[in-house]
Amino acid sequence: MEEAECDVLSYAAFPQEDWQKIWSNDPLERLNKEVKRRTNLVGIFPNEAAVIRLVGSILSEQHDEWQVSKRYFSAGSMAKLERKEEAAKRPQLLAG
């Protein structure tokens, strides 16, 4: 655990209001549920290529939806993260 401390605590670099989104795997679970629902509707596939085409189209559809309409992290929280990164890059003033 000590060796992985940096990786385990990497979420702390993000604004606190986004921590739950980072911990959660809800978007992946929703996507898997949609793939399962759509493949169950088809039932039997004639070959492996047909499954790949259907799942590929579902993934492509989801990608397009996320690109256009959904934003997982708000612009405000991303701005906070950028300000934090910029502040970390600035040289520290020494108290003299």
Q: pTM higher than 0.75, yes or no? A: no
CA distance 70 to 68: 6
List the domain boundaries for the chain.
43-78
Tokens of 90: 């600035």
CA distance 78 to 80: 5
pLDDT, tens digit, 9 for 90 and up, residues 23-79: 778 888 989 999 999 999 999 999 999 999 999 999 999 888 877 766 666 777 777
Contact 79, 17 (CB under 8 A): no
